[in-house]
Structure 1
Amino acid sequence: MNSVSMTLDELRTLARAKLRLVGLAPDHADAVAETMVAGERDGCASHGIYRLLVAANSVAKGVAVPDAVPDITEPAPALVKVDGRGGFAQLPFERGLPLLVEKARRHGIAALAVTNSVHFAALWPEVEAVTAHGLVALAFTPSHAWVAPAGGTKPVFGTNPIAFGWPRPGRDPFVFDFATSAVARGEIELHRRAGKPVPEDWGYDAAGNPTTDAASVLDGAMRTFGGHKGSALAAMVELLAGPLIGDMTSAESLAADGGRMGSPIGGELVIALDPAGFLGAGLAGRFAAAEAMFDSIEGQGARLPSARRYAARATSLRDGVRIPAQLHADILAIGSNG
Structure 2
Amino acid sequence: MTDISTKTLSLQEVRELAKSVLVAAGMDDPGSDMIAEIVVKSERDGPRSHGLRMLPVYAQSFTSGYANPAAHPTFERIAPGVLRGDADNGYYQIAAAAARDELIAMARENGIAAFTCANSHHLGALRFDTEPLAEAGLVALAVVNSLSMVVPQGGVRPVFGTNPMSFACPRDGMEPIVWDQASSTVALMDIRMAAAEGHDLPRPAGLAPDGEPSADPNAILETRSLLPFGEHKGAAIAFLIEVMGAALAGGTLSVDNAEREAHGALNVKGGATLIAMDPTRFGNAGFNDYVTRICAEIDGNGTARIPGDGRLKNRAASQDGGVSVSTELLSQLQDLR
**Shorter-chain-normalised TM-score: which range?**
over 0.9
Q: Residue 230 of structure 2 aligns with which residue?
A: 226
* Cα deviation digits, residues 102-161 of structure 1 (max 9, x gap): 100000000011211111111111110110110000000110110100111210000011
The answer as to whether partners of 2:178 and 2:308 remain within 8 angstroms in 1 is yes
Q: Residue 275 of structure 1 aligns with which residue?
A: 279
Give matches, 1:39-188, under 5 Å: 39-188=42-191
Partner letter of residue 320 of structure 1? G
Aligned partners of 2:61, 2:152: CA distance in 1, in Å?
27
Q: Which moved more, 1:231-240 or 1:9-18?
A: 9-18
Partner letter of residue 224 of structure 1? P
Q: Residue 289 of structure 1 aligns with which residue?
A: 290
Provide the aligned C-alpha RMSD in A.
1.5
* Cα deviation digits, residues 22-64 of structure 1 (max 9, x gap): 1001111011111111110013111111111110121122221
Q: Residue 304 of structure 1 aligns with which residue?
A: 306
TM norm structure 1 = 0.94
Partner letter of residue 282 of structure 2? F
Aligned partners of 1:243, 1:82: CA distance in 2, in Å?
14
Aligned partners of 2:135, 2:215: CA distance in 1, in Å?
41
Aligned partners of 1:200, 1:297: CA distance in 2, in Å?
26
Q: Which moved more, 1:194-203 or 1:162-171?
A: 194-203
Aligned partners of 2:203, 2:320: CA distance in 1, in Å?
38
Partner letter of residue 276 of structure 2? A
Partner letter of residue 227 of structure 2? R
Cα drift, residue 208 of structure 1: 2.4
Cα drift, residue 264 of structure 1: 2.7
Partner letter of residue 233 of structure 2? K
Aligned partners of 2:218, 2:87: CA distance in 1, in Å?
32
Cα drift, residue 215 of structure 1: 2.8
Aligned partners of 1:82, 1:44: CA distance in 2, in Å?
28
Aligned partners of 1:153, 1:107: CA distance in 2, in Å?
44
Aligned partners of 1:16, 1:295: CA distance in 2, in Å?
40
Pair 1:308–1:75, CA change in 2 (3 A): same
Q: Residue 323 of structure 2 aligns with which residue?
A: 321
Would you say 1:263 and 2:267 are equivalent positions? yes
* Cα deviation digits, residues 200-242 of structure 1 (max 9, x gap): 6211134523334323312320000001110101000000001
Cα drift, residue 18 of structure 1: 1.4
The answer as to whether partners of 1:113 and 1:268 remain within 8 angstroms in 2 is yes
TM norm structure 2 = 0.94
Aligned partners of 2:137, 2:203: CA distance in 1, in Å?
42
**SS in structure 1 opposite 2:255?**
helix
The answer as to whether partners of 1:203 and 1:211 remain within 8 angstroms in 2 is yes
The answer as to whether partners of 2:252 and 2:268 remain within 8 angstroms in 1 is no
Stretches of structure 2 lacking an aligned partner (at least 5 in a row):
none
Q: Percent identity?
A: 35
Aligned pairs, number = 331
For residue 16 of structure 2, the aligned residue among 6, 9, 13 is 13
The answer as to whether partners of 1:120 and 1:264 remain within 8 angstroms in 2 is no
Aligned partners of 1:256, 1:290: CA distance in 2, in Å?
44
